[in-house]
């Protein structure tokens, strides 16, 4: 059990562990002890006066009169007090034939329900998806690529930028090329986008 001296030593221990934290005890200056509050401070310190006409909150459970406690509801009020779903069951209960709608007796579905429940048939010309791994013919397995195919299959060798490759150089064949009439036609803008001058 901590004694009074131990309780007084706690703030000092807190200051040693947390030097930036202020102590809960501080000294009050002599001027603050001798100060007298002004009239404005006294008016601000006074509690707020309720507005004229304000009334206390009404109790949650108001006392009921003896006539209200002993009254008996009419059948109409009892009918209206029931939830809507229960009311509909009570209204429809006499008109339902118990022999046709007895619980546990299966009711055969109509022809339209059976038609809608039948699965959709696949079209006669529908082609199913091919398997990912299919059989490879023997002639494809034994085929040998020609020298021309092997040449075309090799990637184009190009010098790197640090080896002197210039990506902006235009070849002489591209400089001497002439556009075909079809290319010239495609390069013209659309007539509807041309502004009339």
Closest CA to 14 of 25, 4, 3: 25
Closest CA to 76 of 68, 87, 67, 85: 87
How do residues 8-54 score in pLDDT, each as one tens digit? Answer: 445 555 555 666 767 778 888 899 889 999 999 999 999 988 888 88
How do residues 104-138 score in pLDDT, each as one tens digit? Answer: 677 888 999 999 999 988 888 888 888 888 888 99
State the average pLDDT for the chain: 80
Instruction: Report the pLDDT value the prediction gives residue 186, as an integer from 0 to 100.
Output: 92
Q: Compute the distance between CA of residue 88 and CA of residue 79 in angstroms, rounded to an integer.
A: 11
Report DSSP state, residue 160.
-
Instruction: Report the pLDDT value the prediction gives residue 179, as an integer from 0 to 100.
Output: 92
More confident residue, 55 or 22: 55
Contact 37, 45 (CB under 8 A): yes
Instruction: Report the pLDDT value the prediction gives residue 127, as an integer from 0 to 100.
Output: 86
Percent of the chain exceeding pLDDT 70 equals: 78
Instruction: Report the pLDDT value the prediction gives residue 101, as an integer from 0 to 100.
Output: 56
Give 37's contacts (C-beta < 8 A, 6+ positions apart). 45
Instruction: Report the pLDDT value the prediction gives residue 139, as an integer from 0 to 100.
Output: 92
Instruction: Report the pLDDT value the prediction gives residue 98, as an integer from 0 to 100.
Output: 52
Instruction: Report the pLDDT value the prediction gives residue 131, as an integer from 0 to 100.
Output: 83
Give 29's contacts (C-beta < 8 A, 6+ positions apart). none
Instruction: Report the pLDDT value the prediction gives residue 11, as an integer from 0 to 100.
Output: 52
pLDDT at 91 > cutoff 50: yes
């Amino acid at each position: 059990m901590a004694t009074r001296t131990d309780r007084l030593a706690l703030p000092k221990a807190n200051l040693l562990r947390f030097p930036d934290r202020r102590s809960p005890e501080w000294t009050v200056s002599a001027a603050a002890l001798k100060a007298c509050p002004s009239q404005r401070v006294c008016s601000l310190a006074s509690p707020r006066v309720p507005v004229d006409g304000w009334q206390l909150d009404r109790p949650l459970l108001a006392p009921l009169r003896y006539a209200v406690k002993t009254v008996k509801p009419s059948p109409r009020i009892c009918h209206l007090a029931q939830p809507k779903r229960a009311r509909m069951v009570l209204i429809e209960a006499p008109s339902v034939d118990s022999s046709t709608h007895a619980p546990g007796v299966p009711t055969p579905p109509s022809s339209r329900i059976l038609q809608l429940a039948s699965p959709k048939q696949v079209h006669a010309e529908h082609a199913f998806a091919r398997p990912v791994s299919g059989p490879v013919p023997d002639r494809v397995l034994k085929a040998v690529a020609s020298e021309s195919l092997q040449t075309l299959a090799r990637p184009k060798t190009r010098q790197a930028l640090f080896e002197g490759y210039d990506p902006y150089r235009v070849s002489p064949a591209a400089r001497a090329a002439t556009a075909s009439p079809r290319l010239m036609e495609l390069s013209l803008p659309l007539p509807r986008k041309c502004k009339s001058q």
